[in-house]
Each structure stands twice: as structure tokens, then as C-alpha cells.
Amino acid sequence: MGMIRILTNFSRVAAVLLVAPLLAQCGQGQQPPPAPPPATFAKPAKQMIIDQDEYVGRFVAVDSVEIRARVSGYLEQVHFRDGQMVKAGDLLFTVDKRPFQNTLAQARANLDQARANLAFTEADLQRGQQLVRDRTITEQTFDQRVQANKSATASVAANEAAVRQAELDLQFTELRAPVDGRIGDRRVSPGNLVTGGTTGNTSLLATIVSLDPIRFEFTFDEASYLRYERISRTGREVTGREGSVVVSLKLIDEPDFKHSGYMDFVDNVIDRSTGTIRGRAVFSNPNAVFTPGMFGRVRVPGSASYSALLVPDAAIGSEQVRKFVLVIGPENKVAPKYVTLGQLVGNLRVIKDGLAEDDRVIVTGLMRVRPGMVVTPVEEGTQPPGPPGGAAAGTGGPPKAAPAKTP
């Protein structure tokens, strides 16, 4: 009896197992097939673009002046703080004036003496003119008076020059700033002997560099120079020789090129050792943030304006060294298109080749799609279509299937 019960239970279980797949197939037959996943697309934007070339360079001062004394003497006073901003004409150093004041007084005294001698010789010459006509004196004596008058005149001129030189030397004891800018630290302390003059052995007292405006120098290769020159010959200036090309710059701690300037110089010789040529731009620097010697990156227009297609940079994919975008093709199938990239404009990337204006580029949901997959296109900025089968809005899915019935 026990064996018969076991066989009976086993037969019931086997019957249930055979019926279950049939019931499942009946229930699945009543559910609709799943809809293709949505994929948000956007057509490439079209606008006029100018390619930008980036270079690294350094700031240099427009004016850099070494302050050196023109006269020798003992440094008496310093009239500035190390590193301060100075204006043209500000007093910087004073050399002991007393020796030069004495020299000027002596030169003026010599001038007075020469003028007195000139007055005497002029009067003597005037008397001699009448005497030589009356044959009272010989012509030789008259010639001697003429010569004395000429010597006195020359002596006056020489002493006047000595006075002017002494006055200049006295002015040179005050060293003033020749340009606006920032002065460095003093190299000589008061009380030290300063060597002046026009030779190379003069004493360096300080240096001044101008800051506003300031120049930015960089180099670019020969191929870029040729490209710039050929574009310029078409009437579109990009080399900046005329000072009309606008460039932008950023510092090493800045994310964007927010400083604007203009090109004012391109050298006339290519360096034979490096194959590069020097360019220069000018930037305003009212806050004195730019400092000579500071690094920066500059953007220079590298082409004439042209019409280009742009897509969001996030839509660009990488396959080893190739770049691609996923587009929705015929029958809503996803297909890759390999593209040639250009510069970044905001969050859009310029596509130079490989993309058509009417292509539908997938911009979101890239991780959920793959080439060959059928998707539901959703244009960017619109709502995705509702679920199939007339589901109520907000249900978030297809309608539930009816309860399965035993066939």
C-alpha cells in the first residue's frame, strides 16, 4: 500500500510540472512585445567658426630701464620703498650735491670774468678803429686788438658751456623715474660711493619695468607661419602685423581664455636652430596682475571664418585612436559614424569631417545603446512618447496582462 501511495503522489507532481509551462505560455502570449528603448538625439548645430591655435609664452615689459647714476658721488638718500609703483618724474635717489654746487659757482665766476674781459676788448677794438684811420696806431696793433676780442668772445662761449654742464651735473644728482612702472629693490645703500658716467662701469642702483600695457611673446612653427601668411594674402589678416587681430589669453590657474588683447608684431626672421618665429601680443594690465616673466597660454585665430557643424562634446565616443558619434539611421537603427574633431566651443565640439547636417546624433543614453540596436527616437527638448497599449499617464509602464487561464 505504501508503494502505491508514493507512485500516486509522483504522478500528481509530474502532471503539475507538465501543465505549468503550458499555463506560462498562455500568459505570455497575451503580453505585448517590449518597446525599443528611447534615445535622445539632436541634429548638429551649424554656425560660423574660426579655428584657434594655442601657444605658450611669457610676458615681457614694454619698457625696462636700469637706473644708473650719471655723476659720481656719495649716495645721500633713497626716496622709494622696494617694489612700489612709481610714476615718470618721481624722485628716486639723491647724490651729495655740495661738490657739484661748488663746481657750478666756480663756473659762473669764470663766466663773469670772461664777460668782463670781452667788454674790455670790445671797447679797445672800437677805439682802435678810429686810431687806425687816423694813422695813430699801426695796422699790426689793430690786428692784435681784433684777435684779443675774438679770444675773449670764445672764452665767454666756453665758460657758458661750462656753466651749463655744471648745472646738468647738479641736476643729475637727483635720479628720477624715466617711465611709469614697478621699481625693484635698491642695489646701493645711502653712504656708498656711486660710480657715474656713460661707461660700462657705472653703478646699477635699481630697475623699473612698465606694467600697463604689457607684451606677451610666444613662438610658433614654420608651418603655422606659412598658413597665416597664405590666409593673409587672401585679404583676411591673421598674422597680426597690422595690430588688428584680437587674441585671448589665460593664466596657468585660470580655466578660460578671458583676457583679450591684440597682435602687434611678428618677427621677420625664422630661428634656424628651432625652426620657429617670434610673435607678440599686447594686453592691458590696469590691475598689474600680469608680471614680466609670467607664463600664459594665448589663442590666436588660425583660419578664416567658415561654416561648421557642432555637436555636444559628451556625444563623442572613442575607439582606440578614432573618434565616433552614434546616429539614428533608417528604421531607427543605431549606427556609428567616425568623425574628425575640431576645437571646443563652449560645450560643443566642431566636427570637421564625417557628419552630415541632417544626421540624428544620440546625445544622451549612450551607455544604453549599441550599434545595430533599434531605438525609439526622442528629439532633444521634447517629451518621450507614451507607453504602447493606451496606458494611463503616470503609470510608468505597459498595462498589466490579464490572469492566465488553463487552456
pLDDT in tens, 48-80: 888 888 999 999 999 999 999 999 999 999 999
pLDDT at position 5 is 53
Looking at the structure, give the CATH architecture of the domain made up of residues 52-62+215-301.
Beta Barrel (2.40)
For the record, the C-alpha cell of 49 comes out as 567658426
Domain ranges of the chain: 38-50+306-379, 52-62+215-301, 97-172
pLDDT at position 303 is 80
Instruction: Please determine, for residue 31, whether its predicted confidence score (pLDDT) is greater than 80.
Output: no
Please count the other Cβ atoms lying within 10 Å of the Cβ belonging to residue 310: 21
Per the prediction, the chain carries an average pLDDT of: 82
CB 325 within 8 A of CB 355: yes
End-to-end CA distance of the chain: 35
* pTM for the predicted model, two decimal places: 0.69
pLDDT digits (tens, 9 = 90+) for 114-152: 999 988 888 887 777 777 676 777 778 877 888 888 888
Q: Using 50, 70 and 90 to split pLDDT, how confident is the model at 297?
A: very high
The CA distance from 65 to 276, in Å, is 28
pLDDT digits (tens, 9 = 90+) for 318-370: 888 888 989 888 888 888 889 888 888 878 888 888 888 888 888 887 778 88
Task: Kindly state the percentage of the chain with pLDDT values over 70.
Answer: 82
The CA distance from 162 to 113, in Å, is 13
The CA distance from 207 to 67, in Å, is 6
pLDDT at position 377 is 82
Instruction: Please determine, for residue 225, whether its predicted confidence score (pLDDT) is greater than 80.
Output: yes
CB 219 within 8 A of CB 274: yes
**Between 3 and 348, the higher pLDDT residue:** 348
* Amino acid present at 62: V
DSSP state of 99: H
Pairing relation of β-strands 38-42 and 376-379? parallel
Which class would CATH give 97-172? mainly alpha
Domain 38-50+306-379 carries which CATH code?
2.40.420.20
pLDDT digits (tens, 9 = 90+) for 148-185: 888 889 999 999 999 999 999 999 999 999 999 999 99
